[in-house]
Amino acid sequence: MRQIILVLVAAGMVAASATSNLTLSQGGTMVCRPGGACIQTTTETYNRCVDLALRRGQNLSKGDRHNFDLFVYACVAGRVRG
């Protein structure tokens, strides 16, 4: 029983510290799409793609976050024209 509680606490800590599926790593320039594939980019490119997503009507609400992440990843990959 004690081991189960420790596992649940550990899982809760991991879930609490998890960030969005699309993250710009703190030490580098990696952008990862939902599902795992990552692309190296610059901070300027990432910011330009986020701005473009917002201008095109994407938003950061919980219900639309997945679409936002996919759009930014596609933009960073060069599949979206700005």
Contact 14, 36 (CB under 8 A): no
Query: In this predicted model, what pLDDT tens digit does every residue of 21-48 receive, in sequence order?
Result: 455 445 457 888 777 888 888 888 999 9
CA 72 to chain centre: 9
* Exposure letters 43-80 (e unless 16+ CB within 10 A, then b): eebbebbbebbeeeebeeeeeebeebbbbbbebbeeee
Which residues make Cβ contacts (< 8 Å) with residue 60, sequence separation at least 6? 68
C-beta neighbour count of 25 within 10 angstroms: 11
pLDDT at 17: 42
pTM: 0.62
